[in-house]
Amino acid sequence: MTGFSASPRDRRPLLSFSIEGLPARDELLFKSLVRLLDHRTHQHWAWQVEGADLRVVGDRAAALSAEAVDAPTPPVPLLTVGDTPPPRGPFLRLPLHADALETMLNRLGAMVVHARELGLAASAERGARGEEYRLLRWPSVALLDSPVRMKLATLLASRPSTLAALQQRSNASAQECADFIAALERAGFVAGHGGAASRAPESIWPDSQVHPGSEAPPPAREGVQPGLLARIRSRLGLLSSGSRA
């Protein structure tokens, strides 16, 4: 019975958050409250350095970010924490209170899960078109937080792959593959290409590049038209001897 009663909590979506621009004391308090509220939140939240599903920023850092970035909407939800609320977007006032944080996490978590479901549908559509994903560089440690993700990254590093091929080669679920690709795209570690053959290198590993012998031969030079060559030789007087004969 205990295993059955615990299973709904185990099936909660796994989400991540990062923290920027908060004083060390408030950052520590935020992380501690998230852990304490884990039995009450609708999603399981875990801290990571970058590429997170939710960015938690101090009010001063949020103001600087808004001035530096021209995009009207951040790529991931932004939660501002501090004394001064931003012009728009979710906000928590210091000092933090557990009830307010729980409500905010559940609200933002629902938004992230909904966006993730839309992303899965879009990924399925892109997968149906045979879109290939190429790893640009090795992901950060924060994104490789499970053996499955480590295996997926290793497979992508060996050669570009579609979602379907990646799932088949890794034995991971479609959601695990799509979630990982989405996280890599947000952090700028992967690029997608259409179904046609890609000109990208087969691998990011130095010893897996294309060998010189397999490169395509250089294009053949276009032949000079005979009529043009004859006219040039005539201009230079090279045909005078032939005409005398």
Co-location of 21 and 112 in the same domain:
yes
User: How big is the CA angle at 87 (ends 84 and 92), to the nearest 5 degrees?
Assistant: 45
Please say which residue of 123, 156, 172 terminates a domain.
Answer: 123
- Checking if the pLDDT of 116 tops 90, the result is no
Would residue 243 count as lying in a domain?
no
> Six-digit token pair at 221?
């030079």
How many structural domains are present in the chain?
A: 2
Q: How far apart are CA 200 and CA 158, in angstroms?
A: 12
Distances from the Cα of 175 to the Cα of 120, 166, 183, angstroms: 7, 12, 12
Would residue 74 count as lying in a domain?
yes
Would residue 17 count as lying in a domain?
yes
Q: What average pLDDT score do residues 70-90 get? A: 80
Domain extent for 186: 130-207
Confidence of residue 150 (pLDDT cuts 50, 70, 90): very high
What pTM value is reported for the model? 0.53
Predicted pLDDT at 68: 47
**Which residue from 130, 19, 122, 34 is spatially nearest to 79, judged by alpha carbons?**
19
Q: How far apart are CA 55 and CA 50, in angstroms?
A: 9
Q: How far apart are CA 192 and CA 126, in angstroms?
A: 9
Predicted pLDDT at 182: 81
- Checking if the pLDDT of 215 tops 50, the result is no
Predicted pLDDT at 245: 44
Q: In terms of pLDDT, which residue wins out, 1 or 78?
A: 78
Co-location of 58 and 87 in the same domain:
yes
Co-location of 158 and 181 in the same domain:
yes
Would residue 81 count as lying in a domain?
yes
**Which residue from 151, 176, 166 is spatially nearest to 13, judged by alpha carbons?**
176
- Sign of the dihedral defined by the CA atoms of residues 163, 169, 175, 179, in that order: negative
Co-location of 65 and 170 in the same domain:
no
Predicted pLDDT at 123: 58
**pLDDT by residue (tens digit) across 21-32?**
999 999 999 999
Report yes or no: 90 and 107 within 8 Å, Cβ to Cβ.
yes
For 113, the 3-state DSSP assignment is: helix
Please say which residue of 123, 148, 181 terminates a domain.
Answer: 123
Co-location of 22 and 110 in the same domain:
yes
Predicted pLDDT at 140: 86
Co-location of 98 and 6 in the same domain:
yes
- Checking if the pLDDT of 139 tops 70, the result is yes
Predicted pLDDT at 200: 38
Confidence of residue 238 (pLDDT cuts 50, 70, 90): low
Co-location of 18 and 118 in the same domain:
yes
Q: What average pLDDT score do residues 190-214 get? A: 48
Co-location of 93 and 167 in the same domain:
no
Report yes or no: 169 and 187 within 8 Å, Cβ to Cβ.
no
Domain CATH for 66? 3.40.50.2300
Please say which residue of 107, 123, 139 terminates a domain.
Answer: 123
Predicted pLDDT at 227: 62
For 19, the 3-state DSSP assignment is: strand
Co-location of 116 and 146 in the same domain:
no
Q: In terms of pLDDT, which residue wins out, 72 or 189?
A: 189
Q: How far apart are CA 83 and CA 91, in angstroms?
A: 9
> Six-digit token pair at 218?
């250089």
Confidence of residue 205 (pLDDT cuts 50, 70, 90): very low
Are β-strands 14-20 and 54-58 bridged in parallel, bridged antiparallel, or unpaired?
parallel
- Checking if the pLDDT of 6 tops 50, the result is no
Sequence-distant (≥ 6) Cβ neighbours of residue 238 within 8 angstroms: none
**Which residue from 49, 35, 27 is spatially nearest to 187, judged by alpha carbons?**
49
- Checking if the pLDDT of 38 tops 80, the result is yes
**pLDDT by residue (tens digit) across 92-113?**
999 999 999 999 999 999 998 8
Distances from the Cα of 152 to the Cα of 60, 149, 213, angstroms: 37, 5, 30
Would residue 225 count as lying in a domain?
no
Would residue 173 count as lying in a domain?
yes
